[in-house]
Structure 1
Amino acid sequence: MKDDLTSASDDGALTASDWAGASGERWLANLDSLERMIEPIGTALLSHAGYRQGESVVDIGCGGGWTTRQIARAVGPEGGVVGVDISPVLIGAARERARDEEIANIAFEVADAASVMPAGAPFDRLFSRFGSMFFAVPYAAFANLRRMLVNGGRLDIAVWAPPGENPWFTAMMSVLARHVELPPPVPRAPGPFALGETDYVRDLLGNAGFDEPDIIAWEGTQYIGGRGNGAEEAASFTLESLHIGDLIKNLDPSGQAAVRDDLIRMFAGRETPEGVGLPSKALFVTAYAGRTA
């Protein structure tokens, strides 16, 4: 989907349904910047997945469809891809961009992947860049993902490693904590870091009918709002695009300005010629669908 980066609730928890409303609208309003920010991870996951001509693929939480379009090109005219997202506005943008690029072997559905069975199922492959962490009932949702695949079909998803392994996130939250009281984290709650525990991921997949997964770490630099942003641009992006904007909405204007100033100072210390960069870590999960009874 998008990536946990935006939030609709004060406690930081997100469910898939949040993306159908305000979170999806916010993602669309900042689509290009958000895509630039997480494109390196999507590119790495696509390379890891290694799609081949003729394969059929479902892209879960496809957002504006950038990964879906890359998959369509990789599988060629003999293959095809269906992008699924719960946000109508993001699917609208995804369809428009695919039409603009004249990609024929692609389709999109507005639906909740926790329960829907997309047209064309079962597929050879399932892909998701940060779109599988928001399910309200994860065990049932992953069982549904399994049903989308043929026996032996392959799942490739990216999820965030735990917050403590993502300084790009903890640095921003440390700034925020100086101004507002942050709610305690709820382990495994729907949201950015719901699938950061590898044992939990293995249990979800095993119960859903997947064989033992292979989980590898991706580590790199997260450029806030994409490459090229300075400290002030990164602070504006953070407050307009990410969940920090929700968490400070009850502060008065002077309080919000103080948060912005502190973010600028923090980001200024992390500016590089390529942009404001902080370390990040994601997990790439690969698993094959076992045979169903």
Structure 2
Amino acid sequence: MDAQQPSFDAAKYKNAQREQWNKDGAAWRRWNPVLDRWYGEATREMLDLARIRSGQRILDIAAGAGEPAVSAAERVGPDGYVLATDISEGIVELARQVARERGFEQVETRAMDGEKLDLPDASFDAVLCRLGLMYMPAPVTALREWRRALRPGGRVAVVVFSTPERNDWGAVPVSIIRRRAQLPPPVPGQPGPFSLGGQGVLEGVFRQAGFADPEVRAVPAPLRMASAAEYVQLAREAFGAFNAMMAHLPPDERESVWDEVERSMRSFESQGGFEVPGECLVASAAK
């Protein structure tokens, strides 16, 4: 490798992630109905593969603003327990509010780094992580921690995005932003939405973490909205990574970039509305 190539700074990245979600968490919650429809099938598949039953103890990593923690709470019932964790203090507070609004007293929330759990060994029946693992600098380390927290026979189930080619909702805007912001290509080891989506990559990190027989399934996840303009509103408000990529640009240039994104995304409009392709991978394994 070229000695001049920059290395990835995981600590700096995590701090930026925490700050981003503390700032953007409320917007994420506002868009929850759209997001839950978008990720709904993949979320149900993850919960099914985790084999969640009444009375179990569930750990939700990178929980966001309440899902899938509240869906897990429905499955474990009042005699179960769900701990929703996230690196962002602000967004786990939103998850707590959502759980209380839904009447789920069995849900607890704590700010916690998913790669370094402040939890005892063998204390949970299942660990869930929806669209969080691919943003972690050390996914193998994270999975080892989750395995440590599992009771024997317990299960981990995760959702990640697959490849850019199957996720135009993200690949198209990112290519525009990267070109307009004159960003270099990602450095080795850099996390991102598609970092675990390649053939065999997700299965490989599970095996490295000590799971013998991981199962990986592809689940279609098209994003359906009213228009490309509404999509851009969602992206501007809830996709903090897009904004971070062009934070160094002057405001008028950022507006120009969003205009180009909207023009490009209009190719996914039809008389029936706006639909852009997406695909998730759902993986699970037992301890």
**TM-score (ref. length: structure 2):** 0.84
Which segment is superposed worse, 136-145 or 84-93? 136-145
SS at match of 1:30: helix
Give the whole-Å Cα distance in 2 for the aligned partners of 1:195 and 1:139: 11
In structure 2, runs of 5+ residues without a counterpart are: 1-7
How high is the sequence identity, in percent, across the aligned residues? 27
Match of 1:271 in 2: 269
SS at match of 1:215: strand
The CA deviation string for residues 102-143 of structure 1, in whole angstroms up to 9 with x for no partner, is 112111111112111337952111111012223333333221
Match of 2:63 in 1: 62
SS at match of 2:206: helix
**Offset at residue 177 of structure 1 (A):** 4.7
The CA deviation string for residues 59-84 of structure 1, in whole angstroms up to 9 with x for no partner, is 11101112101100111122221111
Change (3 A) 1:254 1:99: closer
2:240 paired with 1:239: no
Give the whole-Å Cα distance in 2 for the aligned partners of 1:198 and 1:148: 28
Preserved contact between residue 52 and residue 75 of structure 2 (Cα < 8 Å): yes
Change (3 A) 1:93 1:282: same
Alignment of 1:111-126 (within 5 A): 111-118=112-119, 122-126=123-127
The CA deviation string for residues 187-241 of structure 1, in whole angstroms up to 9 with x for no partner, is 5422222222353333332232212201111123123xxx33x222222332333
Match of 2:85 in 1: 84
Root-mean-square deviation over aligned CA pairs: 2.6
SS at match of 1:150: strand
Change (3 A) 1:15 1:288: farther
SS at match of 2:165: helix
The CA deviation string for residues 16-70 of structure 1, in whole angstroms up to 9 with x for no partner, is 4433212332133332315623432324433444422122211111011121011
Give the whole-Å Cα distance in 2 for the aligned partners of 1:139 and 1:52: 27
Please identify which structure carries the higher helix content. Answer: 2
Give the whole-Å Cα distance in 2 for the aligned partners of 1:119 and 1:104: 22
Match of 2:5 in 1: none
Alignment of 1:26-175 (within 5 A): 26-33=24-31, 36-37=34-35, 38-40=38-40, 41-118=42-119, 122-175=123-176
Preserved contact between residue 17 and residue 86 of structure 1 (Cα < 8 Å): no
**Offset at residue 157 of structure 1 (A):** 0.3
SS at match of 1:71: helix
Give the whole-Å Cα distance in 2 for the aligned partners of 1:275 and 1:205: 38
Give the whole-Å Cα distance in 1 for the aligned partners of 2:280 and 2:188: 17
Match of 1:8 in 2: none
Give the whole-Å Cα distance in 2 for the aligned partners of 1:93 and 1:286: 27
2:258 paired with 1:260: yes
**Offset at residue 175 of structure 1 (A):** 3.0
SS at match of 1:184: coil
**What amino acid sits opposite 1:194 in the alignment?**
S
In structure 1, runs of 5+ residues without a counterpart are: 1-10
Preserved contact between residue 25 and residue 94 of structure 2 (Cα < 8 Å): no
Match of 2:281 in 1: 283
Match of 2:206 in 1: 205
Give the whole-Å Cα distance in 1 for the aligned partners of 2:268 and 2:140: 39
Preserved contact between residue 42 and residue 129 of structure 1 (Cα < 8 Å): yes
Change (3 A) 1:206 1:185: same
SS at match of 1:133: helix
The CA deviation string for residues 249-279 of structure 1, in whole angstroms up to 9 with x for no partner, is 3333442332222222222221246643211
Change (3 A) 1:27 1:272: farther
